[in-house]
Amino acid sequence: MCGRFAMTLPTDAMAQLFGAVPGNDLPDVPSYNVCPTTNIHVVSGEEGQRRLGAMRWGFLPSWYKNLTDGPLLINARAETIAEKPAFRNAARERRCLIPVSGFYEWSKDEKGNRLPWYFSRRDGAPLVFAGIWQGWDKGEALVKSCAIVTCAANNSTGAVHHRMPVVLEPRDWGKWLGEEGHGAAVLMRPAAEDVLQFHRVGREVNSNRTSGAQLIEEIAA
């Protein structure tokens, strides 16, 4: 599962990284506590061009009558994404890239207290998650919404949580976006053991109202 992340990369750097045309409605950066239902940066392929735009984090199936009509779908499980009615069409036709600087996961101590950890790439590059998206038109205006694809955790990440986002390497971005034909399903696998690093951070991030660079600073485990 992935339920919170940080994004610190400037918008122009993101657009250059992906060779994407940036939109005019992108969220402010840096943001160290990005929460579900907010707009996030998403790279999609539309009309033969990569576009960097804002989408609501929380996938809206076509049958939802309003934004809160059913469960909040922030993640889509790789194992069932091709079968679930909410996700299967998007998995075939509307895949996207979701860039982040790092993400949070939680473990529990012997008393049941939630202990946050911050995950990022060892090489310092942004993380790029596999995502799916679609438009939802039941409100006053079209809403583009998305979900992060998750898979079983690798051994190192599994020490904190049993699930993890699907992390895509640059060589796989085009395939996931459908620019290189079929075969994207094989990309829905755990990251190699040497890709991620993680450390304990303070419990302040447990509140979705907190912000600031101190949220990702390492503390003693």
Name the domain count of the chain: 1
- For residue 84, is it within any domain? yes
Domain of residue 53, residue span: 5-216
Strand partners, 131: 96, 148
Q: Measured between alpha carbons, how far is 66 from 137 in angstroms, rounded to an integer?
A: 10
- For residue 221, is it within any domain? no
- For residue 154, is it within any domain? yes
Give the rounded percent of residues in the chain with a pLDDT score beyond 90: 90
- For residue 37, is it within any domain? yes
- For residue 179, is it within any domain? yes
Strands 196-200 and 95-100: unpaired
pTM, 2 dp: 0.96
Q: What is the CATH number of the domain that holds 37?
A: 3.90.1680.10
Q: Measured between alpha carbons, how far is 159 from 204 in angstroms, rounded to an integer?
A: 22
Q: In this predicted structure, what is the pLDDT of residue 147? A: 98
Helices (H), 40-159: 88-93
- For residue 59, is it within any domain? yes
The per-residue pLDDT for range 50-103, each reduced to its tens digit, is: 999 999 999 999 999 999 999 999 999 999 999 999 999 999 999 999 999 999
Judge whether residue 45 has pLDDT over 90. Answer: yes
